[in-house]
Chain A
């Protein structure tokens, strides 16, 4: 017999020892994960109540950390959400697996109720202090401030230092962690990358953030519509295992099996019940109360259900940002040259409803390196509108990007790799049941069906983009042809004349003939360019491709400089919606210069 005593541990004990599994595997990731979990909670809370979210984030170093090579970091996130009732505060911030969303089948960002408690645990482990919370709901006259610790032994949150304070806002939550970590701003795991990504897929978000000693950055919302998160639909019987199926029946007590099946699941009707009977379900069970059915019989019933072909689950439970709003949001990525967005119709992949949205944008970089020497494109991945920033190689979204032949759309691409160039490819996957590869939700499992669906969306976006790239290529082609004529015609004729010792008269005639000949080629190139321009114009008019143009930039600038009159703002919106006017190559390049200058000014304004 074993000498050691068998003991049981609480969930909190398990997670406090395995924080690396939920995104706290390094000091850098600890800061990002803490920020991410708090932002997720704030945005989910706002959306549940239909509030347009306003977030303020502050991250600063306040000293040296207790762990080697770390700093003591203060992370503060304030929202204008509905606020938390004080009784809920210890559950939310100090208890693992306490969630309002667990297994509900909605497309919310948070799902299990692990993340923010893990952040509190990390803070508690590294700085001996949990989370400082200020909360105020609409019905409270004063806000409550308190400190939450995790009681690791009992998986419970403990409140300390509770006091009422005056807070100058009607409702909201402010959460502050002081923990050991390291700050990385740029790059794939950087805080700025995270915040830019979050702004991209949350067009209704007003975000202000202050990182380290940098000035406050303000990202204004581009949509005044709070997304409507569709309610969960009943589970589909084919997505369940036998144990789940039996457990699900316990919720229905004395209901008959037929009513349990019809009410407890989607896609089951009277006709499907008859199909089940045909496939071996004993008819007598249909009218029997579910609590009277033995497990052995449940197994037979479950078998009959699985033998029957059912309609795929409904796609009503997924939501999308929409091409129009997404287009506005893309411009917040940085200095965008042109872009295309695609919103796919929700569909079923691996028996789960899924919606894919894609944005492909070309950035105006200081040194535009295009061609085979340029670095790979920047990939932004989102799962239920949360940026994924680590372990990208095995992710379904990256796999899908690699399988698309981007060369045919004008982007250089090494074999089976990411395409190259100053582009951003953003892939947003929304589904109530996303299959992640790990608990820290960093990689989406690359099933064949999902990869194919993402691939299709990418192909659509690529095709739209290619119209603009093709136009650029044609312009360059024409320019090169003209240059060739200028450079090589005299050399060729000179060399030929020297070899055959031809007189000046022949030389002149040959030069004229050659110019005439090559002029025909130039005319053909001009025709091709005209055609490409026509396609480009059509695509632009249909909204399939968008270019950040001079008019739009100007309108935006004016909008920013003076608080607009309601009529004026309407006028500027009209200007934005106006179809693109065809411009010559020179005009476009001038526009580019102008547009590049603008965000710099914008930055200066912010700094001021």
Chain B
């Protein structure tokens, strides 16, 4: 969304509310329902899109507090947009506290903890159908540390100037993509063969130190668990601007497949309105695949069902097979088959198990990865 449209949209919304109030009509605020039951998956589009369900909140005695808080925070955010200031959610929480402190009349609006103000910010985003970054509210940039000897990134700075970063000049230091990747543009100095996204940041680091980027014309990035907006937007950018194949390398377990890989490839139900910019539908699942365990004699182990987190992941996996439109679609049959295999065998295998194949060869995992890419051994 363009920056100048937000203030206009906000003013229109407030004006409509005010007109409704003048006529003693109840203002109704509508937002897209961001949940799995309102998620649609079209294999041609490639990511989760919102359905028709809307969440309506009507002004009444019970909701007047929430609405007053929303308009109060909106005023702060609009002021930020006007001056170009940016804040995190926690900073906004303290700014709101400061406003209340200096104006005792606002005391009824006071937030008792940050979760309350966070919920109001999310509500404003859903109402305006925009990202929090559009409102100059940024999260810290986490994950997505990128290494490449071929990639050049150009960043459009808020003051209108440009910054050009040649990743080959950074040595073994990574490039940190921003939560708002729209301001970045990419260029390849030399033809890039593929992009490898590694679930573990540590393993990605090991690969670089062992010379992965020197031996391959590739982009290597560490996801650092569940991909943040930065990682998701960055992968989308690589996919669209460089048009190189992207492979994901992570653990073989239900959590990785659903929470990490699915979010990277098709976005999440909670972010339905921004999946178009924050998902890379072309990314492929390189492994660990169930057949790799036998093929490379990898060390796997049983899922501890009494472990609450793992039991929850398995439960979620069986739910996903029934309700998640992404796994239900036949285009992703290969992935749902892995989920079924996990549920049936109740075993898991970690990405680092590639190091067991030849414990004395530090680049063995790299060799396996390259072999898999060459043979098309991915989903």
Interface residues of A (CB under 8 A from B): 481, 484-485, 487-493, 495-500, 502, 506, 509-514, 516-518, 521-522, 525
Contacts and interface: CB of A to CB of B under 8 A. Distances in A.
B18 A496 contact: yes
Given A490-B105, A522-B61, 4 more contacts: A499-B10, A499-B14, A512-B24, A514-B24
Contact of A495 (B11, B71, B108): B71
Contacts of A514: 21, 24
B61 A491 contact: no
Contacts of B152: none
B22 A506 contact: yes
Contact of B18 (A481, A502, A518, A522): A502
A517 B21 contact: yes
Nearest to B66: A488
Contacts, number: 84
Contact of B67 (A492, A511, A512, A522): A492
Given A495-B72, A498-B75, A499-B10, A509 B64 contact: no
A495 to B, nearest CB: 4
B68 A491 contact: yes
Contacts of B303: none
Interface string B1-19: 0000000001100110110
A500 B11 contact: yes
A513 B23 CA distance: 6
22 contacts: A484-B62, A488-B68, A489-B64, A491-B72, A491-B105, A491-B106, A495-B68, A495-B71, A496-B17, A498-B75, A499-B10, A499-B71, A499-B78, A500-B18, A506-B18, A510-B18, A513-B21, A513-B25, A516-B24, A517-B24, A521-B62, A522-B61
Nearest to A478: B61
Nearest to B24: A513
Interface string B60-99: 1110110110011011001000000000000000000000
A492 B64 contact: yes
A502 B64 CA distance: 20
Contact of A518 (B64, B71, B72): B64
B64 A495 contact: no
B105 to A, nearest CB: 7
B213 interface: no
Nearest to B106: A491
Contact of A491 (B21, B74, B109): B109
B226 interface: no
A510 B71 CA distance: 15
Nearest to A505: B22
A497 B18 contact: yes
Nearest to B59: A517
Contacts of A517: 21, 24-26, 59-60
Contacts of A512: 24
Nearest to A514: B21
Contacts of B15: 500
Contacts of A488: 64-65, 68, 108-109
B64 A499 contact: no
A88 B15 CA distance: 95
B75 A499 contact: yes
A495 B26 contact: no
B74 A510 contact: no
Determine the interface band of chain B, counting residues with CB < 8 A from chain A.
20 to 34
B61 A484 contact: yes
Contacts of A525: 61
Interface string B208-220: 0000000000000
A599 B71 CA distance: 51
Contacts of B106: 491
Nearest to A509: B22
A497 B19 CA distance: 11
A485 B78 CA distance: 26
A241 B210 CA distance: 83
A510 B72 contact: no
Nearest to B64: A488
A513 B22 contact: yes
Contacts of B11: 499-500
Given A491-B109, A509-B22, A496 B71 contact: yes
Contacts of A511: 21
A502 B16 CA distance: 12
B9 to A, nearest CB: 12
Interface string B29-73: 000000000000000000000000000000111101101100110
Contacts of A513: 20-25
A229 B322 CA distance: 63
A513 B20 CA distance: 8
A496 B20 CA distance: 12
Nearest to B60: A521
A478 B65 CA distance: 15
B61 A481 contact: yes
Nearest to B12: A500
B14 A496 contact: yes
Nearest to B11: A500
10 closest A-B pairs by beta carbon, nearest first, are: A521-B61, A487-B108, A510-B21, A513-B24, A492-B68, A509-B22, A495-B71, A481-B61, A513-B21, A499-B14
Contacts of B78: 499
Most central of B21, B25, B68 by chain A CB within 10 Å: B21
A488 B21 CA distance: 14
B60 A518 contact: yes
B248 to A, nearest CB: 40
Nearest to B23: A513
Interface in B89-129: 105-106, 108-109
A498 B68 CA distance: 13
A477 to B, nearest CB: 9
Contacts of B68: 488, 491-492, 495
Nearest to A494: B105
A518 B67 CA distance: 13
Contacts of B67: 492
A491 B103 CA distance: 11
Contacts of A506: 18, 22
B21 A499 contact: no
A490 B25 CA distance: 17
Nearest to A482: B61
Nearest to A525: B61
A16 B108 CA distance: 69
Contacts of A490: 105
A492 B67 CA distance: 8
A517 B62 CA distance: 12
Contacts of B14: 496, 499-500
Given A491-B105, A496-B14, A484 B64 contact: yes
Contacts of A481: 61-62
Most central of B17, B20, B61 by chain A CB within 10 Å: B61
Contacts of B10: 499
